[in-house]
Amino acid sequence: MFCAHKIELNTDEPSTLLIPRERLADYSQAHRILEQAEAKAQALILEAHAQCEKILESASDEFWERANTQLYRWDSERQAMLDHLEQAATSVINAAILSILDETVPAQRLTALLNKLLTAQLPTVQAELVCNPQDREPVEQWLSLHCGVPWTLRVEDRLTAQSLLLETEDGGFHINWTDALDNLVVTPPQAKTK
């Protein structure tokens, strides 16, 4: 017995399992467009990173340039302040020293000068000590206290008061109160201009 089966082919509608060629072509084209878009996006990202690096480097350079300028300005101001402070301190110290030394009586001044002459003459040598007549008495007192000093006193009007001259065979050594003060007091340094 023959059974008759009938197979029907529906040619109007394609089977859902088959993908049409047009759709495959569209997919390929879409895939290429996506790859191109990804490549362009990657290139844009790299370019953006490079621009960011340039901007950061430029900003860093600008920052350090400004910072160095400011630091230099602060250093200059600090140095000027220190210079001024040093001048002010020197001026105050000089004024104090001069004030104290101005209060020194003439006999003490001469004693200080004679002690300076004595320390300058190591070892002490035979010499004539010349002084002004006004200074004779304090000088004689000092010489009497320093018996081991081989100096003989001579008084001359040509020397100003509070001046001493020690004359040896090799030459003379002159000292006076005003010059001693000038050498003692520190001259303030001039402010450095920048």
Q: pLDDT tens-digit profile of 52-79? A: 999 999 999 999 999 999 999 999 999 9
- Contact present, 84 and 190 (Cβ < 8 Å): no
Dihedral angle computed from the Cα positions of residues 65, 66, 69 and 75, in that order, rounded to the nearest 10 degrees: -120
Give pLDDT, residue 55: 94
Distances (CA, A) of 43 to 39, 52, 137, 193: 6, 14, 105, 56
H/E run at residue 97: helix 21-102
Give pLDDT, residue 91: 86
Question: What is the chain's mean pLDDT, rounded?
Answer: 85
The listed range with the strongest mean pLDDT (94-103, 128-137, 161-170) is 128-137
Lowest mean pLDDT among 12-16, 92-96, 156-160, 170-174: 12-16
Give pLDDT, residue 145: 92
Distances (CA, A) of 180 to 37, 96, 112, 163: 93, 16, 10, 10
Strands 151-155 and 127-131, by their bridges, are parallel
* pLDDT greater than 90 at residue 33: yes
Residues 6+ apart with CB under 8 A from 161: 106, 132, 134, 135
Band of residue 194 on the pLDDT scale cut at 50, 70, 90: very low
Where are the domains positioned within the chain? 20-103, 105-184
Q: Does domain 105-184 have CATH number 3.30.2320.30?
A: yes
Give pLDDT, residue 193: 46
- Contact present, 148 and 161 (Cβ < 8 Å): no
> Cα–Cα distance between 14 and 23 in angstroms, integer?
13
Q: pLDDT tens-digit profile of 134-150? A: 999 999 999 999 888 89
Give pLDDT, residue 16: 59
Give the whole-number percent of the chain exceeding pLDDT 70: 89
Q: pLDDT tens-digit profile of 180-191? A: 887 777 665 554
**How much is the pTM?**
0.50
* pLDDT greater than 70 at residue 10: no
> Cα–Cα distance between 120 and 123 in angstroms, integer?
9
